[in-house]
Amino acid sequence: MPPMMLNDVVGSVRSTRAATVAAPGAAVAAVALLLGLLDAPLLSAQVGDRTGVIRGRVELGRSPASNARRPGVGDLGAAPQSPPEPRRAVVYLESAPRGAFEQTEPGRAVMDQRNETFVPHLLAITTGTVVDFPNSDRIYHNVFSLSKVARFDLGRYAVGRSKSVRFDRAGIVRVFCDIHSHMNAFILVFSHPFFALTDAEGRYRIERVPRGTYNVVAWQEGTSSGPRPATVPEGGTTELDFPRR
């Protein structure tokens, strides 16, 4: 069975079989070569028990309010406001162990449209995952993205309906609504399963990481921490915090 990590974190989805679209492609692999990442540990069924955990806390920055509206000078009245979602971050391994890309299968995730807000605001998935975008509002929404890794426009649809997008390329996807300019969200698509969403207090836990030394990155609202090294012992736990810069 594939590793399931950080089950208690909202919005995190794990895949369980080989990714249908691999990996980032030759160019990225070349970059990885140049960066000297190929000596990462081998991941295989035989080493399944030789894994450890990376956990810690990200000191969440004061990122811009995720659902802040434009001033709405042209509106006849104040628009209904939904409470802001707690800030979260994603912590991930910058490079993954060999074989990490052979053990995922397409998963499924949901990004709801509720009270003119994407819920969750931040979603982390593996390549091949299908994300459903149901509309739970009485008004129309129009989900779209112009991101390089996934350009789509789902059109306008009413409450109770849902449309889906499969994300086959790794990268960062900005999601918007064409009708409501304040609606925005992030989907981080990974080509390996070694990532975790923090909880509202910034705590994270990446499980079943093969022993070895990795660079770990914390990402929040478009800003990345510098990569920080972490050595994972066999069967052990490594603590790694990300203080606010």
Q: Closest separation between CB of residue 205 and other proteins, Å?
A: 17
Separation between Cα atoms, residue 132 and residue 212, nearest integer Å: 36
Work out the burial of residue 163: count CB atoms within 10 Å of its CB; fewer than 13 is exposed, 13-18 middle, 19 or more buried: middle
Q: Closest separation between CB of residue 68 and other proteins, Å?
A: 5
Cβ proximity to other proteins: between 12 and 147 the closer is: 147
Q: Closest separation between CB of residue 33 and other proteins, Å?
A: 8
Cβ proximity to other proteins: between 160 and 243 the closer is: 160
Secondary structure of residue 102 in the 3-state scheme? helix
Cβ proximity to other proteins: between 84 and 235 the closer is: 84
Exposure class string for 172-202: b at 16+ Cβ within 10 A, else e: ebebbbeebebbbbbbbbbbbbbbbbbbeeb
Cβ proximity to other proteins: between 72 and 235 the closer is: 72
Q: Closest separation between CB of residue 124 and other proteins, Å?
A: 10
Cβ proximity to other proteins: between 51 and 145 the closer is: 145
Question: Half-sphere exposure of 47 toward its Cβ, with a 13 Å CA cutoff?
Answer: 17
Secondary structure of residue 185 in the 3-state scheme? strand
Using CA of residue 204, residue 206, residue 211, residue 214, what is the dihedral sign? negative
Q: Closest separation between CB of residue 65 and other proteins, Å?
A: 5
Question: Which amino acid would we find at residue 201?
Answer: E
